[in-house]
Amino acid sequence: MTNYPGLKMLIAGEWIAEGGAGTMPVNNPATEAKIGDCPMVSSEQLDAAVAAADEAFPKWAATPGAERHKILRRAAELLRERKTDIARIVMLEVGKPNAQALGEIGSAADLIDFLGEEAKRQGGRLVPVRSPNLLQQRVTQEPIGPAALFTPWNFPINLPAKKIAGALAAGCSCILKPAETTPASAQMLVQCFTDAGVPAGVINLVFGDPAKISEHLITAPAMRKISFTGSTAVGKQLGALAAQGLKRFTAELGGHAPVVIGKSADFDRTVAACAATKYRNAGQVCVSPTRFLAARDIYDRFVSEFVARVNDLKVGDPSADDSVTMGPLAHAGRVNAMQELMGALGGSKGEIVTGGSAIEGPGHFFQPTVIANPSANSRLMTEEPFGPVAGIVPYDDIEDAVRIANSLRYGLAAYAFTADLDESHYLGGALRAGMVAINHFAVGSPETPFGGTGDSGFGSESGVEGYLGYTETKLVTVAKS
Ligand code: NAD
């Protein structure tokens, strides 16, 4: 494929095409064709990145917040200016339709703006003193230090953008390790920051073997903050490593979001929103609605209307056909994971109402799938599917719905649709999740915290929390001399 950029890492302000550990291929998931060769970082190059981030940190931390904001604002502008080219690369690397890629880039630019502005707002606070001998008690939020940022492939612009912007706004330097399958998206994003004036060493970009890089960076004494978005299993491993070095850790992990559909909900609007949101990015979204719990009175109608909408989805290669609404899965492993979920449904464990199979290649495609009434202990209803598979079950009363919704260790997003005010208040309090949205699905905005609880991790990104996560609290208390 032409026009795929030559891939380069960024270490100490130098763009480097030679990876000391060789190269790895990058493929288009919609065609399986190779689109590029990605350099893989060596241990010596990682040491150089750590040294660069460490050296650049004190000067960047001392740069006035208003100055940091100006640079971040410029990075957001550059991202908007370059959105057409970047969206094309996102489409090639992830297989997401152009409109979804453009939406992701727009929201990433808004996030960078918001987090950059926090650099001007966060001035700390004065605490009233208890004794007349005390002159002042001042509490400030200090940048933690160099941050290691690990991001997955499903939102290859938005997820790195919110980590980089949080770190840089707060005064931290950083090293980004994006997913193996989406290096060019990360490179184009990082280029916006360097072109905006982020000094050498403040932002570094490395590619390669995820386990080797994460172990190297998390155990490097200079790295003080670790932020990871990805699976619960990997999050637990990285969290354990970070804990050994007593390093601050933010973990945005998997989810298995329930959607409670009450009988009073605006039916047509609800079913349309559920079907559209479930298959966005082929279901590979951590806050994707996956367990649909419909009141028994409306259950049959909900299943049939939901399936009718799913059957209208157009699956294909979005870079070859603009009318495609669902692209491929990210790699062959995701298709295998979907097949395993289907295999684990068992004899009477629900009905495959539509879909259920991989689509013959080339490309990593799986049919948009709906399972009616899967068993509560099936893998589909207990493990994050991270793909285009939805389970729909009936519930009898609202407490029953909450019990099913809260029955897993995940707790990222939870949704409910209802026109009953009492039910809406009850569900907002009773659903156990880091984010609860009622009568809509938009849990991610620049101004609001994004994060989970339980096996979905801890710490929040975006919102003021997305800035504060890269800071630590300091007290300065002064008495009369
Ligand atoms: P995977 O665990 O192989 O990879 C997911 C991501 O984690 C990749 O970007 C990879 O580079 C990274 N990764 C893997 N091992 C790592 C390590 N030791 N150190 C640092 N990074 C590491 O799984 P996959 O099949 O590619 O993705 C599916 C799973 O990933 C899903 O089950 C889902 O839970 C999770 N995921 C979550 C999110 C999210 O937004 N929370 C996003 C993408 C993937």
Range of the domain at 388: 257-446
| Residue 311 and residue 234 share a domain | no
Rounded to the nearest 5 percent, the helix, strand and coil shares of the chain are 40, 25, 35
| Residue 426 and residue 288 share a domain | yes
Q: CA–CA separation, 213 vs 40, rounded Å?
A: 10
Q: CA–CA separation, 311 vs 34, rounded Å?
A: 31
Q: 292: which strand partners?
A: 259, 392
Q: What is the pLDDT of residues 279-317, one digit of tens each?
A: 999 999 999 999 999 999 999 999 999 999 999 999 999
Q: CA–CA separation, 121 vs 128, rounded Å?
A: 21
Query: What is the predicted pLDDT for the residue at 1?
Result: 45
Ligand 1 atom with the smallest distance to the CA of 153 is 9
**What CATH number is associated with residue 221?**
3.40.605.10
What is this model's ipTM? 0.94
* 296-327 exposure pattern, b = at least 16 Cβ within 10 A, e = fewer: eebbeebbebbbebbeebebbbbbeeeebbbb
| Residue 348 and residue 291 share a domain | yes
* 47-62 exposure pattern, b = at least 16 Cβ within 10 A, e = fewer: ebbbbbbbbbbeebbe
| Residue 407 and residue 272 share a domain | yes
- Structural domain contains residue 217: yes
* 430-459 exposure pattern, b = at least 16 Cβ within 10 A, e = fewer: bbbbbbbbbbebebbebebbbbbebbbbbb
| Residue 121 and residue 220 share a domain | yes
- Structural domain contains residue 1: no
Q: How many domains does the chain have?
A: 2
| Residue 145 and residue 46 share a domain | yes
Query: What is the predicted pLDDT for the residue at 347?
Result: 57
| Residue 345 and residue 280 share a domain | yes
| 49 CA to centre of ligand 1 in angstroms | 23
Q: Which residues are catalytic, by number?
A: 252, 286
Q: What is the pLDDT of residues 12-47, one digit of tens each?
A: 999 999 999 999 999 999 999 999 999 999 999 999
- Tokens linked to 269: 């609007």
| 309 CA to centre of ligand 1 in angstroms | 30
Q: Amino acid identity, residue 2?
A: T
Pocket of ligand 1 (CB under 6 A): 150, 152-154, 179-180, 210-211, 214, 229-231, 234, 238, 252-254, 286, 333-334, 384, 386
| 152 CA to centre of ligand 1 in angstroms | 6
What global pTM score does this model have?
Answer: 0.96
